[in-house]
Amino acid sequence: MNLYESIKKQDKEVFDAIAGEEERERDGLELIPSENYVSKAVREAQGSILTNKYSEGYPGKRYYGGQPFTDMVENIAIDRAKKLFGAKFANVQTHAGANANIAMYMALLEPGDTVLGMDLSHGGHLTHGHPVTYITKFFNFVRYKMKDPDTGEIDYDEMRRVAQEHKPKIVLAGFSAYPRELDYEKFVSIAKEVGAYSVIDIAHIAGLIAGKAVKNPFDYGFDVMTSTTHKTLRGPRGGLILTRENEEIGKKVDKAVFPGLQGGPLMHVIAAKAVAFGEALHPNFQTYAAQILKNAKAMEEIFRARGVRMITGGTSNHLILADVYGSLGISGKEAEQLLDEVGITLNKNSIADDTRGPMDPSGIRFGTPAITTRGFKEAESAHVAELMLDALASRDDKNKLQQIRAEIKAGCEKFPIPDSFV
Ligand SMILES: *Cc1c(COP(=O)(O)O)cnc(C)c1O
């Protein structure tokens, strides 16, 4: 099946945009740690006729008729998600990670309740209570931080003190710009001490957990995990909410997602989630997840050897946060633009206690999930790190930049994006 044949015939404008993006993805290196390449099977499921169907409700309890196949699809997705993460209950209907978090708050909180989450400038996500999000009109957010940005250790004593002072209903772990593993036992014990639910947002590391490359928070007693399905997990864009064992919580989550927050589920996306979960259950996925970490370590070693400060001193997961302004005198925004020119896509990022503003911060954030999907191993990853630092040192040398661009394009040709992983 050629996915674009009909669009090409019918709608040249949209076809050209898709073809352009396909070329961009093919010829450049994707280092944004929240992005990945999905299999053709995932794309076929997402492009399927399941988009035609209204399926409000849950399998066996729908508001419309004609559901034998949608029930099948959603049950497969739920069963696979439960198996992957060791959960008793899974909700696969949230349209995105942000919705998953909003539904989780609605399931577990009353208006005015308090959430203790990671400070946003220390790695937390917008949906963990950034003042620009509407959720902060309804719930109160208090913070914990790293004790020392150069080691990355969370200040658990301060976290406990804030928990005892503010009595949160949720102790929330999880991050989108933090390169280390958390002390899950401490999170769960602090939550228990103050009678809070323990929740972790695993959006970034879901694939690493599913692939058993990092610890599974459920083994440490977390009540709930929220996630995206499109980052390290390598599925379609979407959300996921997992409940470890408490049936009452599982039911509250389902009610919060529908009818609380959303209307009809995106059944074509749920089918694509099911296919991606099937891929993640395959033994190959564990090799993939382990390689993501090895590749990040290989990049870390080059950055360290060349004297670039990394927040937390390095990485234990798939991402690195580098202080390019402090180490190389080039701002995050400038670095992002310069690397874009040579065919490397990543994002500028604030670093802990950044002295610069969020639109032009001190850092860059990058990671290895997508290049690992392409088949890069440690040697290629280390070479990418070398090329990045060469480019950042050559901002006025057009010839050198062109040479790096050509080298990156050749590397992409040698490692084409695969269609299948099983
Ligand atoms: C990416 C991310 C989200 C949001 O996911 P969307 O699908 O973009 O809504 C939520 N939490 C964390 C920690 C994330 O990294």
List, for residues 128-169, the tens digit of each pLDDT value: 999 999 999 999 999 999 999 999 999 999 999 999 999 999
Q: Is residue 32 part of a domain?
A: no
Count: domains in the chain: 2
Assess whether 264 and 242 both reside in one domain. yes
pLDDT in the model for residue 123: 87
Provide the β-strand partners of residue 349.
363
How many A from CA of 23 to the centre of ligand 1? 26
DSSP state letters, 28-78: SEE--TT-----HHHHHHHTSGGGG----EETTEESSS--HHHHHHHHHHH
Assess whether 359 and 297 both reside in one domain. yes
Asked if residue 155 lies in contact with residue 144, where contact means CB atoms within 8 angstroms, the answer is yes
- Nearest residue (by CA) to ligand 1, atom 8, is 97
How many A from CA of 203 to the centre of ligand 1? 6
Q: Of ligand 1's atoms, which has the minimum distance to the CA of residue 231?
A: 1
Ranges of residues in the chain whose predicted pLDDT is under 50: 1
Assess whether 177 and 223 both reside in one domain. yes
- Nearest residue (by CA) to ligand 1, atom 6, is 97
pLDDT in the model for residue 2: 65
Structure tokens at 257: 């997602």
Ramachandran angles phi, psi of 212, nearest 5°: 60, 30
pLDDT in the model for residue 364: 97
Assess whether 253 and 323 both reside in one domain. no
- Pick from 127, 205, 225, 242 the residue to mutate for probing ligand 1's pocket: most ligand atoms within 8 Å of its CB: 127
pLDDT in the model for residue 194: 98
Q: Is residue 5 part of a domain?
A: no
List, for residues 191-236, the tens digit of each pLDDT value: 999 999 999 999 999 999 999 999 999 999 999 999 999 999 999 9
Q: Of ligand 1's atoms, which has the minimum distance to the CA of residue 96?
A: 7
- Does 201 contact ligand 1 (Cβ within 6 A)? yes
| Residue 230 DSSP class | S
Mind telling me the catalytic residues? 54, 56, 201, 228, 231, 237
pLDDT in the model for residue 127: 94
**Which of 247, 280, 313 lies at the terminal end of a domain, its last residue?**
280
- Does 34 contact ligand 1 (Cβ within 6 A)? yes
- Does 97 contact ligand 1 (Cβ within 6 A)? yes
Assess whether 64 and 198 both reside in one domain. yes
